[in-house]
Structure 1
């Protein structure tokens, strides 16, 4: 029992004997416990020093055990010390885990601060691309704007998803059309979860504090977080609407039902752009856009735009 308080086994044995005998001399303790006289003397001296036994004034001196309540109090004190030590250990363990995680993550995450730093980092990433660039574009555009036409090499495949709002500004659709290369694919989603560019599925850049006075982005390299972001891109890509902005690199539609102009109008409608935004992109009036949409509905033998979208999906017009 006393060993948990730091006492030796001999001290524990002597204390138990003292409690049973009420009082005893050193010689009696040695005889009943089987200890040698020197060992019994040492154990008794240690118990007296710990306050667990006392010496009488008799001759020869007799020893009396302290009340078990004293031992209970000592155990309670030790429990408080152990709880305090556990609390300290928990804090140290948490700090150790945090430090270990920081050291592990130091090669995975990198913070980029400031608009010019973001711009330069984005341009460097595009320049290092070798196989594929994945891009989620939503306003506000902070680093590289669409009209700047910053591109990877000609052999790099590009897949870009624009948030609808990002295509409503004048000139944005023209910039997309002029920058479209063979093999590039563009889609539109009404609401993107994040802005992101991923290069060769090995590094991603995500703007973080985009509304602060000092924009901040994080570079994420290969690991579980990047894998999750790639899965997110694929999920959003599957739900997005293909955007057809024909140029000299674009294959012409096989279906004779739609001309290139009709297909572009239809894809802008399906992308969620307003008639006003479509009119600005096409350099016509809203009335002209509405007239052309009505002509498409008549040719598809439908009465609403929703039905037109259904027919376009059913027949694969876009």
Structure 2
């Protein structure tokens, strides 16, 4: 019992024997416990120092045990100390976990500051790509622009989703057409949740909120966050509209009833571009675009543009 309070085994043995006796001499305790006289004397000295045993005025000296209530008080004090130690340990453990997460995160996240640093990082990522480039593009475009024609290696396949607004800029569609490579796929979404460039499903770069006039981005490497972002890309891709610009790499339609010009018009229309933006891309008037859209509706035998989108999807025109 007393050993949990720091007492020795001999002290615990002598105290237990002493409690069972009204009083005892050292010799009597030695005989009762089987310890030699020196061991008993050492145990009694230790118990006396702890306040668990005391001497009487008798001769020869007799010893009496302190009340078990004293031991109870000592146990209560030790419990209080243990609770305090546990609280300290909990704080240290929490700090250790935080530090461990910080060390782990330092290998997962890397902050990139400044437009030029973001541009150079994006170019380096594209150059290092081995098999796949995933891109979510929405304005404002701070890093690599489409017209810069920064291309990965020929074996790398790309999937890009443009936000509709990103294609409304003059020359944007021509830049997309010029940069489309064999095996690349392009789609359009009316509103993207985030901008992202992901390489080989191993690293992604995302722009973050601006700090004053300095753009800031973050590189995210393999881990749970990157996995979630790749899942997000796949979801956005599945809900986006294919963009057909009729370059030499464009896949053929399932039902080839549209010529290249009509197919391109329908693709732009379903991408969410306004008639004005489509006219600007085609170098025609808005009225010409509207007439051609009406002709497509007549061909599909529908009365609204929504019905045209449905029929175009059903018939495999896009």
Whether these two folds match at TM > 0.5 is: yes
TM superposition shift of 1:101 = 4.1
- 1:24-63, aligned counterparts within 5 Å? 24-63=24-63
* Secondary structure in 2 matching 1:192: coil
CA spacing shift, 1:212–1:133, aligned 2, 3 Å: farther
Distance 2:27 2:216 in 1: 81
Gap runs ≥5 in structure 1? none
CA spacing shift, 1:64–1:287, aligned 2, 3 Å: farther
Distance 2:33 2:40 in 1: 8
Gap runs ≥5 in structure 2? none
- 1:1-318, aligned counterparts within 5 Å? 1-210=1-210, 213-250=213-250, 253=253, 255-318=255-318
Asked if structure 1 preserves the Cα contact closer than 8 Å seen for 2:139 and 2:166, the reply is yes
Paired residues, number = 318
Larger mean CA deviation between 39-48 and 242-251 belongs to 242-251
Distance 2:243 2:210 in 1: 26
Asked if structure 1 preserves the Cα contact closer than 8 Å seen for 2:253 and 2:316, the reply is no
TM superposition shift of 1:255 = 3.5
CA spacing shift, 1:174–1:18, aligned 2, 3 Å: same
Name the TM-score, length of structure 2 as normaliser. Answer: 0.89
Asked if structure 1 preserves the Cα contact closer than 8 Å seen for 2:24 and 2:63, the reply is yes
Two-structure CA RMSD over aligned residues (Å): 2.4
1:9-51 Cα deviation digits (max 9, x unpaired) = 2211222222222432222222222222211111111011112
Name the TM-score, length of structure 1 as normaliser. Answer: 0.89
Asked if structure 2 preserves the Cα contact closer than 8 Å seen for 1:253 and 1:260, the reply is no
TM superposition shift of 1:121 = 0.7
Asked if structure 2 preserves the Cα contact closer than 8 Å seen for 1:253 and 1:259, the reply is no
Distance 1:135 1:248 in 2: 21
Asked if structure 2 preserves the Cα contact closer than 8 Å seen for 1:138 and 1:192, the reply is yes
* Secondary structure in 1 matching 2:45: helix
1:42-88 Cα deviation digits (max 9, x unpaired) = 11110111122222222222222222222222212212222222233
1:183-229 Cα deviation digits (max 9, x unpaired) = 21101123323221122333322223346543332223344543443
Asked if structure 1 preserves the Cα contact closer than 8 Å seen for 2:256 and 2:317, the reply is no
Asked if structure 2 preserves the Cα contact closer than 8 Å seen for 1:244 and 1:263, the reply is yes
1:233-265 Cα deviation digits (max 9, x unpaired) = 223222221111123443565744212222122
